[in-house]
Structure 1
Amino acid sequence: MALVLRCIRSRLPILVAARHASGGPELGRFSGKRAIVTGGASGIGYACARRLGLDGATVAVFDINKEAGVKAVQQLRSEGSDAHFYECDVSEKSTCAEQTEAFAKAEGEGKVHFLISNAVYFGSQALKATDKDWSKSMAVNVVGASNMVQSCHPFMLAAGGRGCSIVLLASVSAHRAQPVRWTYSATKGALHIMAKTMALDLSADSIRVNSISPAWIWTPEVSKAAQGDRKTWEPVWGEPFHMVRRFGEASEVASAAAFLLSDDASFITATDLPVDGGYMAMGPEGLGEKSKFAGSDEE
């Protein structure tokens, strides 16, 4: 028995390091914290809600899709998370305020510590964009983020401000020109700069605001575009677009969001964190496997 205990103790640092390296949950890190994730019923939003719940936070899943939201919360609870669903269309300011207050005042707390603004309308148009396309894109992606920050602000003040944090989900589309993406890219560019201006205004309250720019993440939206065939489309969209040569996982974005919300990021604000597998660092040569370079010794 003593030998077994010595072996276990000798491996503990390795096991802990491996857990952190894999971006696994840090049990109890967010104990006593209350978090809202918009668009939390699926994809990146669900992964964020799951991660925060496993890290100990009480999580509110805000989503316009009631059926998906209820199922998401059931799954989160089955894993031991304290999760709750609130039906919410983030483009409606009054609804955001009402549902945020309902969650904040549940159990008599009156506090919100974290917000991940992830709700998104994926419609992407260019020359054929209509007023409706622009209106819906802006209302959900941009105004929706503003509505939620405005709604959470008084309850973050009630929580003391310091230690409260907000993450907006931007995109690599905010940084790079992509075909037929006028409406979508414009909203993500807006979120990129909004995070910085929000951070400045909320700094007086000691509330940090950052953004995340994911690249190609295997989510239900990407799966739909690929007709569920990851094996076929990963070599097309995943491998050549990223230095890591694959799609990203929603859980990897969630790990980055959890870091930005945590005290580990206490001196980080007004920053955009690319979770892009090297996407934005590459030039037109891509991975370089099919490129010729001047001055190269290669034949």
Structure 2
Amino acid sequence: MASHNGSSVTEFVLLGLTQQPELQLPLFLLSLGIYVVSVLGNLGLTVLIGLNRHLHTPMYYFLFHLSFIDLCYSSVITPRMLMSFLNQNTIPYAECMAQLFFFAFFVIDECYILTSMAYDRYVAIYKPLLYKVIMSHWVCFMMTVGVYAMGFVGAMAHTGCMLRLTFCGSNVINHYMCDIPPLLRLSCSSISINEIVVFVVVGINVTGACLILFITYTLILSNIFCIHSRKGRSKAFQTCSSHIIAVSLFFGASAFMYLKPSPAESLDQDKIYSVFYTIMEPMMNPLIYSLRNKDVHIALKKTLKKRIYT
């Protein structure tokens, strides 16, 4: 039975992360552990921020959305990858396109929520006296609406262009998810429009966001170096260090993945690189933002005490 877009392919086969039998079980257990930590960490952080009033500030407002995005992001990718380790490799055409849409949606959201967090830190350090005025509830809300709107537009562009393609040959995807590069290699029709869309959308979202981040942190660092107090400089650096680590992890891996030349023989390497921003990064964010964060530690202690004594 042909699919609605004229393709003869009604389902795809995901090869998964590796085809070596001896690595299947160790990688399954490792991936399952990472996913559990990611879910618990991001879900715990969203609940903690929601329950504690003193964390209802712009910084933690954006961190709440980052954790929510990471929770959804990892849940779109990792469960399907875990199934591939159990030899459940087939994915229906419609489910594959849905995974592609939500993957693109959340990865673009991640770009812009990290950019919004950088702007928040810029205002907090560069204009501390006007911080509450500039980063009002309405401004934070509108920035978040913009984040999700950009994600929706980008995801629709990628998925819409993929739906117009015809798949009539091999249905084997050399990946653990329905990503754009391996899907394009299976198309029987011209992919020139898709390549332009990938270049434009990824260029705007990754390069544009990186440019904003570079300008923002240049201004932040110039202001920090102007602080005469060593204690003041140290405190300012601490407020930015977690975000810099998270940004470096995400943008470094995603930019290398999508903005480099992509020869056919690099598919196996691409899978390894994509692990960093699809699986590792959602796990790392709650750890990065909570381990050295005194406010989160205090909120956690208060929440646990309330639960014990009620």
Shorter-chain TM-score bucket reads under 0.3
TM-score (normalizing by structure 2): 0.26
TM-score (normalizing by structure 1): 0.27
**Structure with higher RCO (Cα < 8 A, 6+ apart):** 2
Name whichever structure is richer in strand by fraction: 1
Name whichever structure is richer in helix by fraction: 2
